[in-house]
């Protein structure tokens, strides 16, 4: 499942309906993530995507490692943050080779739905190893079982209306409906977890986790979990 989705994210997709959407999307996530980051923390953002505003996390973080599997996306990140002392860009293979207890915070936002349950378990084990004893795991944009594509579309329109790109979002939704995203989403499905299922999954991976009051992303029907090592 993972490879086909990564190829999609590495393509010229139109998930972001225009430059403003892309900008606000990444600004919203970086702003919300930064609120969970203690001063001088070392942070890993796993599956960070284009991370346009990663610099909003440094500070408070003194080091931010961006991990992205898609080759072209990773190349663009490396150019964007070249020369930025606190931000480094790494591949998943490089992250797997990091020393244990390297990070104070690990964030994985809007990635779990594109992984099988098994693939997610492998990553949770990796994050458990990479986090320090008091470290924090932030798992964002987890999709509960009952949330439909229509809910996703409505959330996007609302976000667009608040941020001045409603017209572009309407056109974008039509474009997305006819795109590879929908072909892939219909064929592969998205992996969903109820609140309880995710708390149990985190527990099995050695974390004590709970649902945060609000999601990190723009879609309030999706869930964010905050977890510490048991
Ligand atoms: C929906 S995007 C989310 C990007 C960003 N975190 C955000 O919230 O906007 C999912 C990203 O995760 C990356 N990804 C998927 N599986 C991955 C894996 N196993 N390791 C690293 N990155 C992965 C994809 O390439 C894609 O850029």
Strand partners, 64: 43, 87
Tell the residue nearest (CA) to atom 10 of ligand 1.
111
Domains of the chain: 2-229 (3.40.50.150)
What are 92's two structure tokens?
Answer: 């998943």
The whole-number pLDDT of residue 1 equals: 62
Higher-confidence position of 18 and 107: 107
Q: Which of 49, 93, 184, 219 has most ligand 1 atoms within 8 Å of CB, for mutation?
A: 49
Before 110, cis peptide (omega within 30)? no
C-alpha 1 to ligand 1 mean position (Å): 13
C-alpha 135 to ligand 1 mean position (Å): 22
Q: Which of 24, 67, 69, 112 has most ligand 1 atoms within 8 Å of CB, for mutation?
A: 69
C-alpha 6 to ligand 1 mean position (Å): 7
Q: Are 103 and 132 in contact (CB under 8 A)?
A: yes
Cα separation, 100 vs 20, in Å, equals 38
Q: How would you classify residue 110: left for phi > 0, otherwise alpha for psi between -120 and 50, otherwise beta? A: left
**10 HSE (CA, 13 A, CB side):** 13
Which pLDDT tens digit goes with each residue over 109-131?
999 999 999 999 999 999 999 99
The whole-number pLDDT of residue 14 equals: 80
Q: Are 127 and 105 in contact (CB under 8 A)?
A: no
Which pLDDT tens digit goes with each residue over 55-97?
999 999 999 999 999 999 999 999 999 999 999 999 999 999 9
Which pLDDT tens digit goes with each residue over 189-223?
899 999 999 999 999 999 999 999 999 989 999 99
């Amino acid at each position: 499942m993972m490879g086909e989705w990564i190829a999609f994210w590495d393509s010229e997709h139109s998930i972001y309906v225009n430059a403003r959407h892309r900008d606000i999307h990444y600004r919203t996530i970086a702003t919300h993530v930064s609120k969970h980051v203690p001063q001088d923390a070392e942070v890993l953002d796993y599956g960070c995507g284009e991370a346009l505003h990663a610099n909003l996390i440094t500070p408070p973080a003194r080091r931010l490692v961006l991990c992205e599997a898609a080759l072209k996306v990773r190349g663009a990140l490396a150019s964007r943050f070249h020369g930025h002392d606190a931000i480094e860009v790494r591949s998943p293979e490089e992250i797997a080779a990091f020393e244990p207890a390297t990070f104070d915070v690990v964030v994985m936002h809007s990635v779990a739905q594109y992984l099988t349950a098994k693939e997610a378990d492998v990553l949770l084990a990796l994050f458990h190893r990479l986090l320090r004893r008091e470290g924090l795991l932030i798992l964002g944009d987890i999709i509960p079982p009952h949330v439909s594509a229509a809910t996703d579309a409505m959330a996007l329109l609302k976000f667009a209306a608040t941020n001045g790109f409603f017209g572009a979002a309407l056109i974008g939704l039509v474009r997305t409906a006819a795109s590879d995203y929908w072909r892939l989403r219909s064929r592969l499905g998205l992996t969903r977890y109820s609140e309880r299922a995710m708390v149990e999954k985190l527990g099995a991976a050695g974390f004590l986790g709970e649902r945060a009051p609000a999601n990190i992303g723009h879609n309030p029907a999706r869930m964010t979990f905050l977890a510490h090592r048991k």
